Structure 1
Amino acid sequence: MSLLGAFNIGSTGLVAQAMRLNITASNVANAESVAGPDGRTYRARQVLFAPVPVENTQGAGVQVVDIVESKEPLKQEYKPFHPMADKNGYVQMPNVNPVEEMVNMISASRSYQMNIEMMNTTRQLMLKTLDLGR
């Protein structure tokens, strides 16, 4: 792999982790939303990654292949006077777990940071290589 290829790999990682951060932020923002614009209760979403296929190699980066909704059951909260309550007084709340989302946010943030560090190291290696030619 060339040093320029490392930039391509790093940039795919940056894009993927940025998408993961956006989805996590959306989950946190909607953790208390009873219904979205479509009238349904919000469900937590997760990003699925896959390696970028490249002929004759193990892969060259990562790509977002899908954003899936969680299959976890919705939370039931007893709020008898809420306009969206059922006949028993329960309201369906999103299945967002704030602790899991914070862990996801930290992990995505660190992965993003590592991709930046890898690209900086690659840049420094390229500059050192150019200095050798002087």
Structure 2
Amino acid sequence: MDNLRSILSVAASGMFAQGERLKVVSENVANAESRGTTPGADPYRRKTISFEEVMDRVTGTSMVTIGEIGRDTSEFALEYDPAHPAANEEGFVKVSNVNTILEMSNMREAARSYEANMNMFEAGRKMRSQMIDLLK
């Protein structure tokens, strides 16, 4: 087992997972202001992502992978807009259940986690390079 290879594998799996998390967050933010298009239609429902731990048989290390991309089942808020085509009889329209403040904090956390994994990957790469230089 190559410990330096394990470092690179773990860091790469973390970068992939956080990259996927950033994709989900960006999709949520992009659709945060969506509304239904017809009366009673649901607007965009917030996506969620979960991670799972998996054992890499080649390196023998524990890595992270995408568990599930699901949907937030919380209720939609109602906004009074009787002129909107999706307004119900009382003039209310369902609005997306995306909280942009929560999404921005998720984005910041994912970006920092990605950066930490990238730094770990770079450190492993440098150690491997130094080991090769010592063996020359």
TM-score above 0.5: yes
Q: How many residues align?
A: 131
CA RMSD after TM alignment? 1.9
Q: 8 Å contact 2:43–2:95 — kept in the other structure?
A: yes
2:64 counterpart of 1:26: no
* 98, 101, 108: which one aligns with 1:99: 101
Q: Retained in 2: the 8 A contact 1:43–1:69?
A: yes
TM-score relative to the length of structure 2: 0.88
Name structure 2 gaps, 5 residues minimum. Answer: none
SS at 1:92 equivalent: strand
**Following the alignment from structure 2 to structure 1, what is the Cα–Cα distance between the partners of residues 131 and 61?**
26
Question: How far, CA to CA, are the matches of 2:49 and 2:61 in structure 1?
Answer: 19
Give the distance between the partners of 2:111 and 2:66, measured in 1 at CA.
Answer: 16
**124-133 or 69-78, which deviates more:** 124-133
Tell me which protein shows more strand as a share of its residues: 2
> In structure 2, how many angstroms separate the alpha carbons of the residues matched to 1:21 and 1:34?
23
**1:31-67, Cα deviation, whole Å (9 max, x unpaired):** 011138xx63111111100111346x98521000101
Q: TM-score, normalised by structure 1?
A: 0.89
Unpaired runs of 5+ in structure 1?
Answer: none
Q: Which consecutive aligned stretches of 4+ in structure 1 deviate over 6 angstroms post-superposition?
A: none
